[in-house]
Structure 1
């Protein structure tokens, strides 16, 4: 089928900034969808019926599809495929039925104003998303381009940076990029005095931290102190070894069964922006800890299932990897996890007690894989001298579910 839907990226300069192909599509369109701000850019020479986005926005997909086969235009801000409407529609409409005409994204315009190489900046959107995603990217020297939710976002970002010890960070709020009302506001995180900016803004942040700044490497094995916990924590060295065997990959899903404080699922998601994780935890107190840790460490998208395995696993999306940190000895947990794991998926379980270790050995006979014992010692004072204090050894089973 020839394309019937044209998705046009449009900037703050309106129709004047569009090319010939976009203008021709608008002239031929029977129906034009867009935000009221975008529809107001159109003059009387454009005859197509104009439909503003509905509330709730989720109804928009069916509205567009109801005009299937007619010449339809969707107006979207900037580049429709970068945090835009085009990416949403591409999940519902075959690519051969769409013609996408991008405009420079707000990130491209912001990078141009700051003279920052776009490939060297971290691009984030908190438009309709939790502000806490920024936490995972606050590191000395990092440059962030942040699509704001509204005019209050710059002040919120400044407060978040200052609380982490990054009060020296330079913040530039770029309003109405590419339009006649374009303006920039500059300051530091600790000295930010602007209560509100224009709702349409992009933040350019150059992260600068003092000696007491709190930041974490994206490499697996965060310090134990990074996680609030009640003692149910996979310790740093064991956690790094566990994640190495789980091997996070883009767009893959992890089940963290008996999640404790959520450390494994959190570090899995920090490995790549598209990694997803579900933490399954029955203990009410630890559920609250997981909720706080996922915000503090920049992965608010970590899904929490409040319940006890194996019953709590029913109906969950099949995972690409599973970690069992607690409850391996519970009846049916290992079997349910292995059954749900995708072919080629990774399975890792840790044991500390003799009983759970014996079960790992038996399970290894069934599914294969590798058994590893980890023993970690830390230097600690004893009187005027130091001795090695050995943590409880951990036995680890790692296996791959063979393709069938």
Structure 2
């Protein structure tokens, strides 16, 4: 039996390709989601079987083959190559010849209705996914045009509300409902405007961000990039080594404890551009500079938290990595708070005094951290003296790192 796996377009029969229409006309068996099958023209003569689970689709096809049927179509919505069931189904169709026919996808259709190209769309399916599987704000933050398939907890309204909460409520948003049907609706506005609107559950959404976060592959910005004042700041060379120790991922949640002016916080937010950085600082002047540096770099994923650690850490989400630039004598409690949130957390500590180095090694060992490392960063910088150049030494800094060993 020949099996044709085809994209059924947007639901309106007018969006079927000619090749798909010919295959449907010849098919004796039609299998797919009930909504997809009900949208097909009534004149098709093939028997319709509503199934969505791959194993049940295979069982239905094998039954049709045993009954002597020679042609069957499995109809998927949109295009077979765009977040469809084809990925799981194709490896199971090993009992007969299979032809795959593409279909019109929702990003193609929406772009055509808007009169714009779609080759630069960043494509995201948030349909039916959980918080740990997709971060809509992180996706929007990094690309000029982000297209969403919505559904489940991630509706256009909920995504717009998240954008508003994280300072991106001004971004232009387009929502498409019931695309290709007579009741099709396309709504355009700012995220803050659409955050109070309700839309159809299975809508599509385009968010435009004219200032996406740049891809940052390494850390160590020059010191003069930051506003400093009289507050302490981690120097460029020490920052670079500390970031290498911490190895932040693009989607990580990170803490910067004792953030000072925020030089490390800014670097972390640039590297974890789809993640979140919480910068904890108790000093008034330093906290003001931290907020100024956040604005200076336009980092919507950097969240200054004014307070004393470990108390200020209680409300923060679990981190993948923690940088500790200052502890006010609470290093042990800060490490405990991080491990309580994530037993496998990565930590990096900066220390100047030997007593702090001793305490850090003692706490890391006592609390079961593994892969404990320590390096001394001793930097000298060139300085012009008349027509000569001399090296001026900075205070040596110890960089310690470790990984939580679990509970």
**Per the shorter chain, which TM-score range?**
0.5 to 0.7
Decide whether the 8 Å contact of 2:58 with 2:93 is kept in 1.
Answer: no
Tell me the distance in 2 between the aligned counterparts of 1:29 and 1:378: 77
TM-score (norm 2): 0.54
Flag the 1:100–1:376 CA change in 2: closer, same or farther, 3 A.
farther
Q: Is the 8 A contact 1:152 1:195 kept in 2?
A: no
User: Is structure 2 residue 8 aligned with structure 1 residue 10?
Assistant: yes
- Whether contact under 8 Å (1:13, 1:180) holds in the other structure is no
Task: Verify the 8 A CA contact 2:58 2:92 in the aligned structure 1.
Answer: no
Aligned to 1:360: none
The separation in 2 between residues aligned to 1:58 and 1:174, in whole angstroms, is 29
Report the equivalent of 2:288. none
Distance 1:87 1:270 in 2: 26
Distance 1:247 1:165, change over 3 A: closer
Structure 2 vs 1, CA of residues 104 and 43 (structure 1 numbering), >3 Å: closer, same or farther?
Answer: closer
Pick aligned residue for 1:392 from 378, 391, 398 = 398
* Distance in 2 separating the partners of 1:67 and 1:374: 70
Distance (Å, rounded) in 2 between the aligned partners of 1:6 and 1:159? 41
Distance 1:145 1:135 in 2: 12
1:81 aligns with 2:87: no
- Aligned match of 1:63 in 59, 63, 76? 59
Decide which of 179, 182, 202 is 2:181's aligned counterpart. 179
Aligned mates of 2:61, 2:219 — CA distance in 1: 46
Q: Report the number of matched residues.
A: 281
Deviations 1:137-171 (A, max 9, x none): 23377211111116971111111111111111111
- CA RMSD, aligned part only? 5.0
In structure 2, relative to structure 1, the CA distance for the partners of 1:80 and 1:222 (3 Å cut) is farther
Q: Which of the numbers 15, 19, 22 marks the counterpart of 2:20?
A: 22
Unpaired stretches in structure 2, ≥5 consecutive residues: 221-237, 256-267, 276-313, 323-341, 345-363, 382-392, 403-407
C-alpha displacement of 1:98: 2.3
The TM-score, its normalising length taken from structure 1, stands at: 0.54
Distance in 2 of aligned mates of 1:170 and 1:161 = 11
Q: Distance in 2 between matches of 1:199 and 1:241?
A: 43
Please say if residues 176 and 201 of structure 1, whose CA atoms lie closer than 8 Å, have aligned partners that are also in contact: yes
Q: In the alignment, what sits opposite 2:318? A: 289
Deviation of 1:11 after TM superposition, in Å, equals 2.8
CA pair 114-15 structure 1, distance change in 2 beyond 3 A: closer
| Whole-angstrom distance in 2 between the partners of 1:53 and 1:237 | 54
1:352 is matched with which residue: 373, 376, 379? Answer: 373
Find the partner of 1:237 among 224, 237, 240. Answer: 240
Of 158, 165, 168, the match for 1:166: 168
Is 1:219 paired with 2:216? yes
